[in-house]
Chain A
Amino acid sequence: MPEPDFSPERILGALARHGVQLVLIGGFAAVIHGSPYVTTDVDVVPNPQVANLERLASALRELHARVWTAAEPNGVPFASDAGSIAGVRIWNLVTDFGRLDLTFEPSGTSGYEDIIRDATHLTILGAAVDVASLADVIRSKEAAGRDKDRLVLPVLRRILAETDRP
């Protein structure tokens, strides 16, 4: 099965329709803030409350989310319910519309409540979503410290300097 076309607005739209509380973070949030770097997945931080995870599980079933592994890029089915989702801190998923990563505590943060306070509510190509502040995207990437994160940080910091003037 070929990898599906990456359609972030359809992933985010499904999550919004199910009323999932989350914050978009990572490379795609950076794109929305002006980053020139291409990314091929959506990274979100869900509100960990049980009722929200139940809505998330429902949305994931609609998206036919499967667990991505290197051995099985088309994904492995899993039990999409609130309890299972809460039991794993990072989920790498593949959906009908591309890759979706769920992270409860992105590096350098304490999770949803930490990031939502400075997030901006936007409608992107028809999908309503809370987008992490660029400062929080940078905080997470700086703390993660992976090579691919270090590569993009100078330009992200420069965008922040241009847009975060007092």
Chain B
Amino acid sequence: MRGGTFIREARRRAGLSQRELAGRLGTTQSAIARLERGRAEPSFARVGEALQACGLDLVPQLLPLDEADWSVASVNLGVDPDTRVRRHQAALRFAVAGRAALADARA
């Protein structure tokens, strides 16, 4: 994910305007806007500074790559929102039916 997306999330979470964040970082509002829009890619260190200026910290963590859930999500991205909701409802119905069947089997 882009560093600018993280900065926008942190800024909004802190309730800051782009101008206020720029003031804290000693830069300009337009520079913050460029970062958030992906027109410029900040360094990892710069992202950390911006987050700290929002009162937040970035804690990197290395985890094994797990593609299982992403494989389903990437298929969802290929269909429209109505279809996503229909598939969700079908999955939910199946889960509820499975739970009921399990309860019956235990009874």
Q: How far is the CA of A139 from the CA of B9 in the complex (A)?
A: 6
0/1 string, B31-75, CB within 8 A of A gives 1: 000000111000000000000000000000001001001101110
Residues of A within 8 Å of B86, CB to CB, are 125
Give the residue name and chain of the A residue nearest to B63 (CB): A154
* Selected contact of A36 from candidates B9, B37, B76, B89, CB within 8 Å: B76
Residues of B within 8 Å of A6, CB to CB, are 89, 92
Q: Are A155 and B73 in contact (CB under 8 A)?
A: yes
The size bracket of the interface on B is 20 to 34
Q: Are A138 and B76 in contact (CB under 8 A)?
A: no
Interface: B91 (CB within 8 A)? yes
Residues of B within 8 Å of A114, CB to CB, are 12
Q: How far is the CA of A15 from the CA of B91 in the complex (A)?
A: 25
Q: Are B5 and A159 in contact (CB under 8 A)?
A: no
Q: Are A155 and B69 in contact (CB under 8 A)?
A: yes
- Which residues 26-56 of A have a CB within 8 angstroms of B? 31-32, 34-40
Give the residue name and chain of the B residue nearest to A114 (CB): B12
0/1 string, A133-162, CB within 8 A of B gives 1: 001101100110000000000110111111
* Selected contact of B82 from candidates A109, A124, A142, A143, CB within 8 Å: A124
Q: How many residues of A contact B (CB 8 A)?
A: 37
Q: Are A36 and B39 in contact (CB under 8 A)?
A: no
Q: How far is the CA of A162 from the CA of B76 in the complex (A)?
A: 12
Q: How far is the CA of A133 from the CA of B72 in the complex (A)?
A: 20
Q: Are A155 and B70 in contact (CB under 8 A)?
A: yes
Q: Are B1 and A161 in contact (CB under 8 A)?
A: yes
**A155, A157, A160: most-surrounded residue (chain B CB, <10 A):** A155
Interface: B26 (CB within 8 A)? no
Residues of B within 8 Å of A163, CB to CB, are 77
A residues sitting closer than 8 Å to B (CB atoms) are 6, 8-9, 31-32, 34-40, 108-110, 114, 122, 124-125, 135-136, 138-139, 142-143, 154-155, 157-166
B residues sitting closer than 8 Å to A (CB atoms) are 1-2, 5, 8-9, 12-13, 15, 37-39, 63, 66, 69-70, 72-74, 76-77, 81-82, 84-86, 88-89, 91-92, 95
